[in-house]
Amino acid sequence: MQPISTKPAPPSDDKRWRIVTATMRRHGFRPDALVETLHSVQEAFGYIDDVAMRFIARGLQLPPSRVYGAATFYNYFMLKPQGEHTCVVCLGTACYIKGASDLLAQLEAVTGVKPGETTPDKQVSLLTARCMGACGLAPVAVLDGEVHGTADAKSVSAKLEEWMRHD
């Protein structure tokens, strides 16, 4: 819990590291800033790689294993870059009852990837979630952050195909 006087130098001169450092500073470089700092890396860079984890480890004076342990524990953290677009299919109970697994199966067929994967052209990441809190609209798909209720395979597929055509 001892604050350190000198902050570690960022891995590169990418300005986004400043946001990460600011998060650590706001928490006095204390170890309990770990999850918050991982959030800020993901928000700034879209994912959390080894370089970022080592930087956080130095900043918060934690063993890298602790940083890696936390980054891999939480489903929300991405350890690989995501595609240009994301499609999240909700597999929560309400969506499941309303046919979310069929929807997902069709989107897997359209994109040719499994949940958690990105199409080879890096255009679309297909993801799943446990409930978006929009259960009244089930089944729900979230396309680039926008919630689509009563999602039908046809219209969602059309959107994904459109994304995959562009490069």
Partner 1 sequence: MIEERPLFIPEQNIVLEHNGDIDPEVLEDYSKIEGFTALNHVLTEMTPPEVIDQVSRSGLRGRGGAGYPTGLKWQTVAKAPGTPKYIICNGDEGDPGAFMDRNVMEAYPFKVLEGMTIAAYAIGASQGFLYVRAEYPLAVQRLKNAIRQMEKHNLLGKNIAGTPFSFDVDVRLGAGAFVCGEETALIASIEGRRGNPRPRPPYPAERGLFGCPTLINNVETFANIAPLLRKGAEWFASIGTEKSKGTKVFALSGRIARAGLIEVPMGTTLREIVFDIGGGIPDGKAFKAVQTGGPSGGCIPSDYLDMPVDYESLLKLGSFMGSGGMIVMDETSCMVDVARYFMEFCMSESCGKCVPCRVGTAQMYQLLTKIVNGDATLNDLALLESLCDLVRNTSLCGLGQGAPNPVLSTLRYFRDEYIAHIVDKRCPAGVCPVHKREHQEVNA
Q: What residues line the site for partner 1 (CB under 8 A)?
A: 30-36, 38-39, 60, 66, 69-70, 73-77, 91-98, 129-138
Here the tokens at position 128 are 């799943």
In the complex, least distance from residue 14 CB atom to partner 1, rounded to whole angstroms: 23
For partner 1, the closer of residues 112 and 149 by Cβ is 149
Q: Is the peptide bond before 139 cis (omega within 30 degrees of 0)?
A: yes
For partner 1, the closer of residues 8 and 96 by Cβ is 96
Phi, psi for 135 (deg, rounded to 5): -60, -25
> Bridge-partner residues for 129, per DSSP?
90
**How are strands ordered across the β-sheet holding 124-129?**
124-129, 85-90, 141-143, 146-148
Site membership for ligand FES, residue 94 (CB under 6 A): yes
For ligand FES, the closer of residues 59 and 92 by Cβ is 92
Judged by the rule CB under 6 A, the positions of this chain that interact with ligand FES are 90, 92-95, 131-135, 138, 140
